[in-house]
C-alpha cells in the first residue's frame, strides 16, 4: 500500500508542477502549442500501448470496447457541462486530466499489487502527458482571468484524487477480474481520445501552427520508446 501511495504521488506530481509552470509567467503561444502537441503524442502512445493493448491482453476486446464507450460518453457529457460554466480549452484539458488520470493511476496501482513492480512505461507516460496538459490548461485558465491560487488549488485537488485512485487500484486488485481491469483501461482510453480530438490537438495546432504535427510525432516516439 505504501508503494502505491509513493508511486501515485510521483505520477500525480506532474500535474502540480505543470500548474506552477503554467501560472509562473506568460508563455508564448507557439511554445504552449508545442508543449501541448508533445503531450498529445505521448497520450496517443499511452492509449495505444499502455491502455488499449494491455486491456485487450487482460480481458479481451469486449470489456475494453465497453470501457471505451463509457469513457468517451462520460468525458463528452461532462465537457459540455463544464464548457457552459468555464468556456475555453483550459477547462476541457483539466477535465481530461481528471477523467483519464483516475483510471490511469488505478491501473498503475493494480499493476503494483500484482507483484511485478511499478510499470516504468505507464508511469513515464502519465508523467510526460500530465505535464503539458497541466501547463496548457493553466495557461488558458490564467488568460481567462482565473486567479493563480484557484488554478493551483484545482491541480492540487486533481493530484490528490489521482493518488487516491492509485491506492484504490492497489486495494481492489485481488478482487478484480481481468474484464474489470480491461474496462478500466478502456475507460481511460475513451476519455483521452475524445479530449485529444476535441481540445488538445486543435489547441496545439492553433497555437503552434505547422510544427504541431512534427512535435506530436516526437512526443509519440519518446513515450513509445519508454514503453
Tens-place pLDDT, residues 39-81: 889 889 888 988 898 889 989 999 999 999 999 999 899 888 8
Identify the band that residue 190 occupies on the pLDDT scale cut at 50, 70 and 90: very high
Write down the pTM of the prediction.
Answer: 0.81
The domain limits of the chain are 2-226
Q: Specify the pLDDT at position 88.
A: 64
Nearest 5°: CA angle at 87, between 81 and 90? 100
How many helical (H) and strand (E) elements, i.e. helices and strands, does the chain have? 10, 0
Q: What are phi and psi of 136, to 5 degrees?
A: -65, -45
Identify the band that residue 116 occupies on the pLDDT scale cut at 50, 70 and 90: low
DSSP state of 26: -
Between 50 and 118, the higher pLDDT residue:
50
Amino acid at each position: 500500500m505504501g508503494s502505491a501511495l509513493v508511486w501515485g504521488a510521483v505520477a500525480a506530481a506532474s500535474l502540480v508542477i505543470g500548474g506552477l509552470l503554467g501560472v509562473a509567467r506568460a508563455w508564448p503561444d507557439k511554445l504552449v502549442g508545442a508543449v501541448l502537441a508533445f503531450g498529445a503524442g505521448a497520450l496517443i502512445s499511452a492509449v495505444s500501448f499502455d491502455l488499449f493493448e494491455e486491456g485487450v491482453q487482460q480481458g479481451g476486446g469486449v470489456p475494453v470496447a465497453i470501457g471505451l464507450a463509457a469513457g468517451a460518453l462520460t468525458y463528452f457529457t461532462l465537457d459540455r457541462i463544464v464548457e457552459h460554466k468555464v468556456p475555453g480549452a483550459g477547462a476541457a484539458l483539466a477535465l481530461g486530466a481528471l477523467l483519464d488520470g483516475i483510471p490511469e493511476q488505478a491501473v498503475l496501482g493494480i499493476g503494483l499489487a500484482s507483484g511485478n513492480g511499478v510499470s516504468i512505461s505507464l508511469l513515464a507516460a502519465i508523467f510526460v502527458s500530465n505535464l503539458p496538459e497541466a501547463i496548457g490548461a493553466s495557461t488558458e485558465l490564467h488568460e481567462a482571468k482565473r486567479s493563480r491560487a484557484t488554478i493551483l488549488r484545482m491541480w492540487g485537488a486533481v493530484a490528490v484524487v489521482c493518488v487516491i485512485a492509485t491506492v484504490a487500484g492497489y486495494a481492489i486488485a485481488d478482487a478484480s477480474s481481468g474484464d474489470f481491469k480491461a474496462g478500466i483501461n478502456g475507460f481511460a482510453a475513451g476519455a483521452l481520445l475524445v479530449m485529444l480530438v476535441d481540445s488538445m490537438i486543435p489547441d496545439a495546432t492553433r497555437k503552434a501552427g505547422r510544427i504541431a504535427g512534427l512535435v506530436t510525432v516526437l512526443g509519440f516516439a519518446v513515450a513509445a520508446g519508454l514503453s
